[in-house]
Structure 1
Amino acid sequence: MSPEALYFHQDMLRVPDGAELYYQSTGDGLPGMVLCDGLGCDGFAWKYLAPFLARRHRVLRWHYRGHGRSGIPDDRTRIGMLYTCDDLRRIMDAAGLERAVVFGHSMGVQVALEFHRRYASRVAGLVLVCGSYGNPLDTFHDSTVLKRLFPLIRRVVERYPEESARIIHAALRTELTVQLAITLEMNRERIARNDLAPYFDHLARMDPVVFVRTLDSLSEHNAWDHLPHVDVPTLVVAGERDRFTPGWISRKMADRIPGAELLLIPEGTHTAPLEAPGQVEVRVERFLRERLGVRTAASPPPAPLEAESPSEAPEAPGKAAASSPGS
């Protein structure tokens, strides 16, 4: 089926506290796939995976409060993790999805895990990409520097929101910022500037108060205690060189979730779905086919691959890279 022929619908959902949430559905077929973004994102990480999934499945994408096309409630304190699960449940209801495989990138991993904790019956499986189970400020760049600085950053942004917005927006719209991010945080040889630019475009338009309040809510959230109770097929995807969410966090998460599988992208960073889209697609297709009995692509499935070690037996360094499809 050509992309032009895919079913597409978009809408706004007004929730009881007045926030208007944007969502869109593409494609058709069950189980549905729900994609949950990272902090400050409006879908850029799903550029390749979303259309791949939509060939055979209903793909639901949505924007958190104050992100993308979604609005902010009248009470501006109602921002962050505390509200995401109820928002997602209402959006799934509006889109007619009773149950779905929930994908999360970065912050979306915390959203997906918390959603399973609260609405397990709505989750058919989990695909957790380049994210943590909680408290991301504790491990950012394997350092607590950001955690120590964040209270000051938040106070400044809350006290001087307009001035902060002008400074942040001006900085994010420079080519130097984009190039520094690509050089310092991403794999320059794998990431295309046009794939990363939408992130900076969105972040430059975002209210910095919403950003720091959402980040504060993430820093207080932890799903570590819930991981042993995850009772659906789970795939954890990590970048070997991810500095936002170091790979050891993904290993710990996969080890603690019963039966979880781990894909480590060699040389991958926090934007691994954009740096190695083919590798991610092949592994996701295999996961959906073998663990959930479904396929994503119209083409025949790839030849069987050597079985990966279960997460209960942690991999030796480099093992995931050697066994990863497409490497």
Structure 2
Amino acid sequence: MNHYFRQDYLRVPDGSSLYFQVLGEGEPGMVLCDGLGCDGFAWKYLTPYLSRQHRVLRWHYRGHGRSGRPEDSRRFGMLYTCEDLDRLMDAAEVKQGIIFGHSMGVQVALEFHRRYAHRVRGLVLICGSYGNPLDTFHDSTYLKRVFPVLRHLVERYPARAARLIHSLLSTDLAMQVALSVELNRDLISKADLAPYFEHLARMDPVVFVRTLDSLATHTAWDHLPHVDVPTLIIAGERDKFTPSWLSRKMAEHIPGAELMLVPLATHTATLEYRELIELRIERFLRDRLGVQVPLPPRLPPGEGATPS
């Protein structure tokens, strides 16, 4: 078992302070890119799995988790995010990595490959889109139409918006609605989902809407045919945030891409089908990249972990 752990902050030239963690040792490095409004909840099981044999870099976007906001409030968007990741890989001593993206992280991973292809050895794209997510949320353009109004209200009344969002997301009702409408309550535990709501309830809503605005106008569609590294795409067949047809479309346009459609899974597939996805990633790393991710050591009969 690889127990190396480091956490630190990197101050980038425009003054932003970016939080990151490095777990484990071994090349190639594994770089995990979150979704919007997330601080790592989707990687709960994949992180310890990958860090047994490899250096894993986890990080928080500007204004997310433990990372600070830039002094210039306009400095949100894909350009800054990719520059931040390039600098963080240097800080974490990851010369070239396999870039994992979940949700918004898929856009980050694809754009990072466009700008810093020499730093990317492979891509694992999970439950995300190549771009313009407001156009396809719930297979509707409704969110795209109402978003300008929502952004205006948040920008004009940030303190009120923060209080309202915190009060709504801190209730059990928000969790129950998500489990009933967006996710599969039979496959995910409240304990796995709670960190997402806790983080979102604390997050500055202005950061959220500005980051979402930058995503809404970004697309890597034109770059898909130029992705020249092994790519695995994983989709939940019942994902309403990023419908699975987007993953099929990506797989058709990225040369040699592999596609895994997970039955019954939703936007939180990494938490719902952890073992199935781990095995699929292991096969991809072994067969396409020559990378070994060993199974945990077998314990003698009668021995095992004591439940906590």
TM-score by length of 1: 0.90
Q: Does 1:16 align with 2:38?
A: no
- For the residues of structure 1 that align with 2:294 and 2:265, how far apart are their CA atoms? 24
Task: Give the CA RMSD over aligned residues.
Answer: 0.9
Q: Does 1:216 align with 2:224?
A: no
- Aligned-residue offset at 1:82: 2.5
- Aligned-residue offset at 1:80: 2.5
Residue 137 of structure 1: SS of its match in structure 2? helix
Aligned equivalent of 1:132? 129
- For the residues of structure 1 that align with 2:104 and 2:125, how far apart are their CA atoms? 10
Q: Does 1:243 align with 2:240?
A: yes
- For the residues of structure 1 that align with 2:257 and 2:74, how far apart are their CA atoms? 36
- For the residues of structure 2 that align with 1:97 and 1:48, how far apart are their CA atoms? 21
Cα pair 1:26 1:54 within 8 Å, conserved: yes
Alignment of 1:70-149 (within 5 A): 70-149=67-146
The structure 2 residue matched to 1:196, chosen from 172, 175, 193, is 193
**Matched positions, count:** 297
Q: Does 1:47 align with 2:37?
A: no
- For the residues of structure 2 that align with 1:179 and 1:55, how far apart are their CA atoms? 34
The structure 1 residue matched to 2:35, chosen from 35, 38, 41, is 38
Cα pair 1:133 1:223 within 8 Å, conserved: yes
- For the residues of structure 2 that align with 1:236 and 1:199, how far apart are their CA atoms? 23
Residue 218 of structure 1: SS of its match in structure 2? helix
Cα pair 1:65 1:80 within 8 Å, conserved: no
1:133-169 deviation digits (Å, cap 9, x = unpaired): 0000000000000000000000000000000000001
- Aligned-residue offset at 1:77: 1.4
| Identity %, equivalent residues | 70
The structure 1 residue matched to 2:228, chosen from 199, 223, 231, is 231
Residue 268 of structure 1: SS of its match in structure 2? coil
Moved more, 133-142 or 71-80: 71-80
1:251-284 deviation digits (Å, cap 9, x = unpaired): 0001100000000010000000000000100000
- Aligned-residue offset at 1:296: 1.4
Aligned equivalent of 1:277? 274
Unaligned regions of 5+ residues in structure 2, if any?
Answer: 298-308
- Aligned-residue offset at 1:101: 0.1
Amino acid at match of 1:289: R
Amino acid at match of 1:291: R
Residue 33 of structure 1: SS of its match in structure 2? strand
TM-score by length of 2: 0.95
Unaligned regions of 5+ residues in structure 1, if any?
Answer: 301-327
Alignment of 1:151-170 (within 5 A): 151-170=148-167
- Aligned-residue offset at 1:295: 1.4
Cα pair 1:22 1:70 within 8 Å, conserved: yes
- Aligned-residue offset at 1:299: 4.9
Aligned equivalent of 2:251? 254
